[in-house]
């Protein structure tokens, strides 16, 4: 086993142990917070009139009341548990396989568009800079 391999192995093991310890401490802190703070249910807000259309108001009120703070907490717990569809700890893997560079088409050097795009504009830009110096 080489020095690099040993270093890599130690880093991997330490990373796993630290991750485990941090998750354990966070869980303990959350339990402690839940014990210290009483859970108070807030009363459901009254339905509001958003428009003159009764059916649309019912739909809007139903939608507005469907998302609660408990739902928001569940989203945070999902993210902490690593159930997110995207994770920065792992390399990106595209769904369809590997990503390859597109093949660039051959460019004809005599093409007027290619000549225009590849023109050396340093002289033009230096002339513009000189002209800017003499402005009042």
Q: Looking at residue 19, what is its pLDDT?
A: 92
Q: Looking at residue 44, what is its pLDDT?
A: 60
Supply the pTM of this predicted model: 0.27
Q: Looking at residue 134, what is its pLDDT?
A: 78
Q: Looking at residue 85, what is its pLDDT?
A: 56
d(CA 122, CA 125): 5
| Contact residues for 107 (Cβ-Cβ < 8 A; gap 6+) | 114
Give the N- to C-terminal CA distance of the chain in Å, as an integer.
72
Q: Looking at residue 17, what is its pLDDT?
A: 92
Mean pLDDT by groups of 10 residues along the chain of 136 residues: 87 91 90 74 69 83 68 63 59 63 74 83 90 79
Residue 100, token pair as written in the block:
């390859």
């Amino acid at each position: 086993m080489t020095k690099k391999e040993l270093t890599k192995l130690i880093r991997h093991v330490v990373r796993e142990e630290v991750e485990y310890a941090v998750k354990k401490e966070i869980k303990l802190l959350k339990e402690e917070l839940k014990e210290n703070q009483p859970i108070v249910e807030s009363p459901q807000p009254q339905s509001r009139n958003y428009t003159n259309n009764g059916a649309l108001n019912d739909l809007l009120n139903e939608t507005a009341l469907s998302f609660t703070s408990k739902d928001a907490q569940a989203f945070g717990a999902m993210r902490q548990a690593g159930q997110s569809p995207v994770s920065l700890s792992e390399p990106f893997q595209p769904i369809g396989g590997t990503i390859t560079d597109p093949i660039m088409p051959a460019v004809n050097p005599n093409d007027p568009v290619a000549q225009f795009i590849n023109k050396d504009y340093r002289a033009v830009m230096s002339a513009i800079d000189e002209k800017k110096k003499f402005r009042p």
